[in-house]
Structure formats: structure tokens, C-alpha cells
């Protein structure tokens, strides 16, 4: 643990973790590989901050990579917490989501490896905090991320990108805690939305607002957008409020709410200060086990929806 009285030490360049390796090839080409029928772009979004959104994005991505999927995390939050949590300090982020949205770089140029085998990152840089003002005057401003991540029949998108280069199975986009142009770009680019829902009193009120926004985007900009699922986070089952919020969410959203519940866990809170997902920091803790279970549920839902 770093000294609590001072800033954490800079994270070293990420190296592949010894305990987390890509799945070995098997006789069945699909064995050990959690790949959807086609590349899926999932955004992790909630306009309310502090709900475990970034924690969910990086740990779900790590769990998916651990079972053999090729995963790309796109850090669309100017705070850059997903980049830090994956061990990429600010000094190493020379190109990222700002360059992608501004058309200054193609996706392969903005992508960098992490310390997790099979998991790459498009990091957030300090310039991203001003991109929404710049997007106002850009053509097709709501489609900038979509055109950078998806191959286009009309040719390259902004920055000359013709879509995702490597054969990624999942692209997870960590959105900022707002419903501005950055999150709108994520919603327009996505196939599905994964919503972290903190087990607290005001959570359902904020969720209703987000669901209305998703419906407006579906009607006007992205008809294929769907809710992949809602995950309950920061749960303390000893607390009556947690159980009430969980029951209300399941009554309101039915099977859209994942069975997996992410508990409050000190190891989950400690992991980012070490520049690691909790699955690498402490594989045996309750938080790690919960994110592994969540990855299984996501994979099952993707397999169920495949034609």
C-alpha cells in the first residue's frame, strides 16, 4: 500500500501478469473463447458519479480477457480513471480519445497495450476535458466515436480510421458521469449499455433519467441500441436499504438486472492505487469473484442474443 499521507508512487510500465494468461489453443476453435458472434461495443454509463462505473469497466474487461476474449477499453472520461486503473500513468498517454474524436489520429495510433494479456486501451488525456466545446462545431458530432470504432462502407472515419484494427471481441467504453456530448457519442457508437446502479436511495431516480435518454437516442440516432444489463454495485446485504433498492430495481427492470451483485469490498477500493484491476490485485477477494461472475453473465447474454 502507498503511504496514505502522500501520493501513490508512479506505476511501472505494465507487464503481463504471470497469473493471467490468454486461453491456450484447444482442439475446438471455440473452446475457451468467450467471443460474441460479432464484435460488440458496450458502454458503461451512468450520469451519477461514484457508482462504480469505471471499476466495473476495467474489471469486467479484465475478466473477459482472462477467458480468452480480445478486449479494448476506450476511456471516454476526462478524469482518466480507467487509464490509471489499468496501470497507464498520465505521462505515458501521448495519444488517446481526444485525438480519436478530433480526427487527429486513427484508432491503431491511439491504442496501447496494458499489463493484462488480451486487453488494450485507448487512454484519456488532459485535452479531452475541452473536446465537448470543439465538438459543437464539428460535422456529425454525435457520430465521431462510432465512425472511429466501426468500419464504414463510405471509407475511413475521422482521423483516417476504417474501424477497429485488431480482432477485438468486445469494446468497452467508460463514459463520464454526465449526459453530455461525450456520453452521447458513446450511446450512438454502442450496441448495448451496461448500467452500474449503486444500492442507495437516489439511484433509481437517476436511472429513470438515463433510460429516457437511451430511448431518445434509440429513436433518433441509434435504433439498434439496447440495454445489455443493469449491475447492482457497492452492495452491503447487511443493510436494509441495499435490499430495498435491489428489490425495487428488479421489480422495475425485471431480468435486465444481472443476478450478480458487486459487494462493497476494501480490496476493490485499494486496487486502483496500485494501477491494477482488482482481479490482478487480489484474485480471491469477494469483489474479484463478483466481477468474474458478472463476466459470465455478460457472455451468456451475448451468446443468447447471437443468431
Kindly report, residue by residue over 211-270, the tens digit of the pLDDT: 999 999 999 999 999 999 999 999 887 888 888 888 988 998 999 999 999 999 999 999
Q: State the pLDDT confidence band at 307, using cuts at 50, 70 and 90.
A: low
Region 39-68: mean pLDDT is 92
Cell of 301: 447474454
CA–CA separation, 171 vs 191, rounded Å?
A: 10
**pLDDT of amino acid 179:** 85
Strand partners, 195: 230
Q: How far is CA 44 from the centre of its chain?
A: 5
CA–CA separation, 49 vs 46, rounded Å?
A: 7
Pairing of strands 40-44, 170-174: parallel
**pLDDT of amino acid 155:** 44
CA nearest to 147, candidates 185, 200, 193: 185
Region 171-178: mean pLDDT is 94
**pLDDT of amino acid 242:** 86
Region 196-217: mean pLDDT is 87
124: pLDDT strictly greater than 90 = yes
CA–CA separation, 249 vs 231, rounded Å?
A: 10
Q: What is the pLDDT of residues 142-169, one digit of tens each?
A: 999 999 997 544 444 444 334 555 689 9
Cβ contact 47:179 at 8 Å: yes
Amino acid at each position: 500500500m502507498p503511504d496514505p499521507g502522500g501520493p501513490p508512487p508512479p506505476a511501472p510500465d505494465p507487464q503481463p501478469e504471470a497469473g493471467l494468461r490468454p486461453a491456450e489453443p484447444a482442439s475446438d476453435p471455440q473452446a475457451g473463447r468467450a467471443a460474441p458472434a460479432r464484435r460488440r461495443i458496450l458502454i458503461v454509463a451512468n450520469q451519477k458519479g461514484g457508482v462504480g462505473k469505471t471499476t466495473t469497466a476495467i474489471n469486467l474487461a479484465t475478466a473477459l480477457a482472462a477467458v480468452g476474449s480480445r478486449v479494448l477499453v476506450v476511456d471516454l472520461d476526462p478524469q482518466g480513471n480507467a487509464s490509471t486503473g489499468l496501470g497507464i500513468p498520465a505521462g505515458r498517454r501521448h495519444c488517446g480519445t481526444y485525438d480519436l474524436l478530433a480526427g487527429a489520429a486513427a484508432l491503431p495510433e491511439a491504442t496501447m497495450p496494458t499489463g493484462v494479456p488480451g486487453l488494450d486501451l485507448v487512454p484519456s488525456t488532459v485535452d479531452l476535458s475541452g473536446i465537448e466545446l470543439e465538438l459543437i462545431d464539428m460535422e456529425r458530432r454525435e457520430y465521431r466515436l462510432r465512425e472511429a470504432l466501426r468500419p464504414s462502407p463510405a471509407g475511413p472515419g475521422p482521423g483516417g480510421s476504417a474501424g477497429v484494427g485488431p480482432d477485438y471481441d468486445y469494446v468497452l467504453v467508460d463514459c463520464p458521469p454526465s449526459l453530455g456530448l461525450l456520453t452521447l457519442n458513446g450511446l450512438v457508437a454502442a450496441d448495448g449499455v451496461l448500467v452500474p446502479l449503486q444500492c442507495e436511495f437516489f439511484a433509481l431516480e437517476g436511472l429513470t433519467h438515463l433510460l429516457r435518454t437511451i430511448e431518445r437516442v434509440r429513436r433518433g440516432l441509434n435504433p439498434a441500441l439496447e440495454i445489455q444489463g443493469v449491475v447492482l454495485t457497492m452492495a452491503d446485504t447487511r443493510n436494509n436499504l441495499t435490499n430495498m433498492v435491489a428489490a425495487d430495481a428488479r421489480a422495475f427492470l425485471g431480468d435486465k438486472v444481472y443476478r450478480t451483485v458487486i459487494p462493497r469490498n476494501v480490496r476493490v477500493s485499494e486496487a486502483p492505487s496500485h494501477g491494477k484491476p482488482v482481479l490482478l490485485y487480489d484474485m480471491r477477494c469477494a469483489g474479484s469473484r463478483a466481477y468474474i461472475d458478472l463476466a459470465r453473465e455478460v457472455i451468456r447474454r451475448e451468446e443468447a442474443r447471437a443468431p
